Amino acid sequence: MKNSLFSSIFILIITQTFGQTISEYPFEVKKSGNGNRTIVLIPGFACSGNVWTETKSVYEKDFTCYTLTMAGFADAEPSPNPNFENWKTGIANFISEKNIEKPILIGHSMGGGLAMAIAADYPKLIEKIVVVDALPCLAALTNPNFKHQENIDCSGMVNQITALPKEQFHQMQKMTMPQLIENKEMIETVVNWSIQSDRQTFAEMYCDFSNTDLREKIKGIECPSLILLESNFTSIKPAIKEQFKNLKSADLQYANQGLHFIMYDDKEWYFNQLENFITNN
């Protein structure tokens, strides 16, 4: 009886401690490698940290890598009150509290937005950033007069997205992904990350990120910044340059081919850019 009671208490303590560890930050994290320098890999909207599998395999030989999956995306457990500001602060707190010295941030899509926001608000915390196909304000590309709304009401969009039947949501993602990725071998994987995501988190973050404008904030970025952009953006270079005009350290590079998932669609170019920026600088 004593042994049984002790075991139950022990399991309860371990479960509570483990739970606190998991919920301490708004993401799940996997650590790999054991280098003196560190890379933090931030995936994009509704994506798993596995989007960085090939990138991590290259750099974990010489770097310590922390690969994040944001709470509620892919198969990660959701957390309360998901929003861009909380996620930015959570990643910054993780870096500071875990005593991770001057990491390089690599972020794709919304993860690139988070990398820019962290580097702007915590300039002494970061060594460098790599932004993979993200803009300071995506909405401004189609609406030049776009302005961020304080306390935006996302309830309509959230209700609409969460009310979609599972099959309809699945079909919507299947139709969307070929517009974002040319590598047909990876389309199903990326679709699955979306449909595995918590629908409430998906909807709230879609609304919140659509309302994000970092064009003024990036003035605060002091570190070297490599901006890798999809090939289609070459046709609107003046608009892209205007978006990044306040980021003095921005090195804008345009892929030769492919779409939004540059790490899948133009691998050789992508890894050459990383090598030149991370290893040789």
Q: What is the pLDDT along the chain (281 residues), one digit of tens a residue?
A: 434 333 333 333 333 333 333 348 999 999 999 999 999 999 999 999 999 999 999 999 999 999 999 999 999 999 999 999 999 999 999 999 999 999 999 999 999 999 999 999 999 999 999 999 999 999 999 998 999 999 899 999 999 999 999 999 999 999 999 999 999 999 999 999 999 999 999 999 999 999 999 999 999 999 999 999 999 999 999 999 999 999 999 999 999 999 999 999 999 999 999 999 998 76
What is the identity of the amino acid at 12? L
Q: How much is the pLDDT for 144?
A: 85
Place of tokens 């950033």: 129
Q: Of 29, 57, 58, nearest to 43 (Cα)? A: 29
What is the identity of the amino acid at 73? F
Q: How far is CA 205 from the centre of its chain?
A: 12
Q: Are 223 and 129 in contact (CB under 8 A)?
A: yes
Q: How much is the pLDDT for 11?
A: 32
Q: How much is the pLDDT for 65?
A: 98
Q: Give the angle subtended at the CA of 132 by the CAs of 269 and 27, to the nearest 5°.
A: 135
Long-range contacts of 264-268 (CB under 8 A, 24+ apart): 264/181, 264/182, 264/183, 264/186, 265/181, 265/182, 265/183, 265/230, 266/231, 267/54
pTM (two decimals) = 0.91
Q: Are 65 and 39 in contact (CB under 8 A)?
A: yes
Q: Which two tokens stand for residue 212?
A: 């994000």
Q: How much is the pLDDT for 8?
A: 34
Output the 3-class SS for 58-78.
Answer: HHCCCEEEEEEEECCCCCCCC
Number of Cβ within 10 Å of residue 202's Cβ equals 23
Q: Of 209, 205, 212, 207, nearest to 78 (Cα)? A: 205
Q: Are 67 and 30 in contact (CB under 8 A)?
A: yes
Distance set, CA 171 to CA 143, 160, 264 (Å): 28, 15, 22
Q: What share of the chain is helix, strand, coil (3-state, %, to 5)?
A: 50, 15, 35
Place of tokens 């803009």: 135
Q: How much is the pLDDT for 281?
A: 61
Q: Are 114 and 84 in contact (CB under 8 A)?
A: yes
